[in-house]
Amino acid sequence: MTAQPTLATRPAQTSWLMQALRAVVALHAVALLVQAVTAGLLLSSPGGRALHMTSGIALVVTGLVHLVVAILAWRPGGGSAKFIPTAAGLLVATIVAAILGEAGVTTLHVPLGVMMFGVGVLQLTRVLSRPGAA
């Protein structure tokens, strides 16, 4: 038999997880912006490709952490599940964009990256406007 959190401990756990979600979503939005900056470096400097690929890997890791924290903030009986689909969508879009970029399909890669940045900023505004207890 597993111990269920009491009503007294649940708000504190939810508040801590929402703070973690806010931090991770902010980091994810910054990572998306860094991807755009390194894309510009890709076009203008010889080392730009390596930087863009490295920041892409960091973006995938950040997206995975975003998804895990969104799931933990939701956990059944905890907070809202509304942040999970966006986190999952951003992770899938990141992987698709990486595949398209590696294949050289810039006509889809670039607009997908712009869309991902917009969704990341939208997620950030949604998370920041949410009260501490989800």
* Span 10-60, pLDDT tens digits: 555 558 888 999 999 999 999 999 999 999 888 888 888 899 999 999 999
Reference 86, options 74, 100, 104, 102; nearest CA is: 74
Residue 8 CA to residue 73 CA, distance in Å, equals 17
Residue 81 CA to residue 36 CA, distance in Å, equals 29
Burial profile 76-112: b = 16 or more Cβ within 10 angstroms, e = fewer:
eebbeeebeebbeebbebbeebbebbeeeeeeebeeb
Residue 64 CA to residue 82 CA, distance in Å, equals 16
Structure confidence at residue 7 as a pLDDT band (50, 70, 90): very low
Cβ-Cβ contacts under 8 Å for 108 (sequence gap 6 or more): 100
* Span 61-104, pLDDT tens digits: 999 999 999 999 888 777 788 999 999 999 999 999 999 999 99
- pLDDT for the residue 14: 59
DSSP state of 133: -
